[in-house]
Structure 1
Amino acid sequence: MPARFPDTTFEQQEAEPHIEYDTSLTDQFVEKTGEEYPWAIATDYVLKSRRYVYDMEAEIENINFVAEHTSLPLPKIVASWEQGTRFLAIEERLEGESLDKALPNLARGDVKRIGEQVGEYLRQLKNNTSPLMEMLDGRPVVDRRLFKPLPDSYWRGYSGCATDAELRLNLSLAIDDNVDLNTMHRFMAKMPSALPFTFSHSDVHEENVMVKDGNFVGLLNWGLAGFYPSWWEFVNSCELLSDYFPAELGDENALEWFTIYYAIRERPMEPKTIAMLKEYLNRGPNVTGLAKTKSPAEI
């Protein structure tokens, strides 16, 4: 299933050039598995190679933090280094396969159990809070599904967040040209409280969830993790699993609010967006119009 809120900034980005490894040097490079150029080394390790970017370092820091504060099964980083313009890391390979590959062979009960297991671990993450919305090293959070990069010509930029008011102000920057000022203020005022900011993986989808024998065995790709709004992990997690998360993680009001926010940001002129926003603003407080989790495309 596609991400609930796709990162549309990738559509404008230049793809990373393809890199060919000289496999004649070793017979251990046996599998190329994705756009970040991870390679399986024999059966126990994975080599990741990417142009040097911040989130490769952040992933290592985040994994160490999560290992210290939760019992979540994690890929252990064996070694990491810079080589020219690239950053490389070797990590232990988790057993099993990604949920998207395993899904055809899983029963509905298996998916429910996996969702519950993932949710329990995410609940452990949520016990770690911060007065600021930030990465572990103090940088602003990097998930562009929350803060879509603004045009280079824009005269304002995102700033740090310590309060709901500051988060509303930041989020409004990406939509203030899409609706009139009064409508924007009314809509932003209905944003559910984001406090306390909680540590979130921020990329829980089928390709990052590892399973074996119908059970959850670990989460991959921790480069986006950081302290986000308390509702962000639930809102941003894949639909397939989020219905089975524990009640402490669920927030249907936040999901509906962000679904409408995303539509305003990405498709402001579509009739569905206009009708959805109008109905939402005319409705009484704290009443959700979503009977269950839906993707923006379904609304």
Structure 2
Amino acid sequence: MASCARFSPSDLPYGTKPRMYFLDSSYFRDHGAKRSLPSPAEVVACSLINQRPSNPPPVKFEELKLIVKFGPKISTSETLCLWAIRKFLYGQVPVPEVCGWDSDGRHVFIYMQLIHGVTLFERYDSLSSDDKRAICQDLRRIMSQIRAIRQIPSNHVIGSITHGPLQDRILDSHPETGPFPSVGDFHDHWSWLWRRIALEPEKVTDPWRKSLPDDGPIVFTHSDLHRKNIMITSTNPVRVLSIVDWEQAGWYPDYWKYCKATYSVGDWEDWRCGGWIDSFLTPHPQPKEACDFICNAIGGF
């Protein structure tokens, strides 16, 4: 595992600024600090926002080797996650290099390195067992390195990378998404979410609460490790190129990454029932049962 990298929100770029460019990124470093990024207006003009206004697809600028992610649900939190991973883990974890962010008053625009490859989801059916084993070995190493990212001991929370509200999509449509001062406080809220719809929720006993360990560690988590977010080579040898889409990432209980990775794939699918997920993420069967129940009860996804 990589040496421990501790940081606090004060070590991050100021995420509330409407615009920030990372002039030390390769985009500017290789072409001069005067090189400009496509403006928000240029990005919108090249996008399909009129077809998908609530979730427009990212816009690629092939000639600039850039991809721009934007929309009403995009925040600078994802930019800060990518920046922190490259900064504090010294490039050991393959993620897109971030060039900066901008805003037009309605949307945040994240400018990132364009990764040339295919998603694991796209290529999965053509992969051999040896290919999948190689991918899982890469993922196990990557997960171990990500685990080296820690909060400073005096300031542990369950929350976003900036110690703000959690960004997980399962939670973002519900009230009070944190931050939470402890794992136990998060679990109490997690339990309350499904009980609050009852006429007298305080009288409803939660049989799943005891399955959620309050003494577990808080770790930095991607929170959406779906095969669509794992970029791999399009040719052999098959290797992981990058982990993308960090918009839901933050500080979560240790079991969360396993529960989310398994919740978004059917039990009958080879990626799940073939034991591949369990080969690079530590299984947490009891928290998984509890999380599956609560996610279904509150209408997750």
**TM norm structure 1:** 0.67
Cα distance change of structure 1 residues 35 and 114 upon mapping to structure 2, 3 Å threshold:
farther
1:37 pairs, out of 45, 50, 57, with 57
Cα distance change of structure 1 residues 48 and 189 upon mapping to structure 2, 3 Å threshold:
same
**Residue in structure 2 matched with residue 139 of structure 1 by the alignment:** 164
**Residue in structure 2 matched with residue 82 of structure 1 by the alignment:** 103
Q: Which AA in structure 2 matches 1:105? A: S
- Alignment of structure 1 residues 153-168 onto 2, 5 Å: 157-168=176-187
| Cα displacement (A) at 1:125 | 1.5
1:235 pairs, out of 221, 235, 259, with 259
Cα distance change of structure 1 residues 254 and 44 upon mapping to structure 2, 3 Å threshold:
farther
**Residue in structure 1 matched with residue 34 of structure 2 by the alignment:** none
Identity %: 15
Distance in 1 between residues matched to 2:172 and 2:101, nearest whole Å: 29
Residues 174-207 of structure 1 show CA distances to partners (whole Å, capped at 9, x for unaligned) of 1114567565344313323363210011111111
CA contact (8 A) 1:36 1:48 kept: no
Structure 1 residue matching 2:67: 3-state secondary structure: strand
Moved more, 128-137 or 222-231: 128-137
**Residue in structure 1 matched with residue 279 of structure 2 by the alignment:** 244
Distance in 2 between residues matched to 1:183 and 1:52, nearest whole Å: 36
Say whether residues 1:223 and 2:254 are aligned partners. no
Say whether residues 1:171 and 2:190 are aligned partners. yes
- Alignment of structure 1 residues 116-127 onto 2, 5 Å: 116-127=137-148
CA contact (8 A) 2:96 2:112 kept: yes
**Residue in structure 1 matched with residue 296 of structure 2 by the alignment:** 263
**Residue in structure 1 matched with residue 15 of structure 2 by the alignment:** none
Say whether residues 1:192 and 2:206 are aligned partners. no
Cα distance change of structure 1 residues 36 and 112 upon mapping to structure 2, 3 Å threshold:
farther
Unpaired runs of at least 5, structure 2: 1-42, 266-270
Distance in 2 between residues matched to 1:115 and 1:254, nearest whole Å: 22
Structure 2 residue matching 1:174: 3-state secondary structure: helix
Deviating beyond 6 angstroms after TM superposition, the runs of 4 or more aligned structure 1 residues are none
Cα distance change of structure 1 residues 171 and 59 upon mapping to structure 2, 3 Å threshold:
same
**Structural RMSD (CA):** 3.1
Unpaired runs of at least 5, structure 1: 1-18, 24-31, 152-156, 268-299
- State how many pairs are aligned: 232
| Cα displacement (A) at 1:49 | 4.5
Cα distance change of structure 1 residues 194 and 236 upon mapping to structure 2, 3 Å threshold:
farther
**Residue in structure 2 matched with residue 108 of structure 1 by the alignment:** 129
**TM norm structure 2:** 0.67
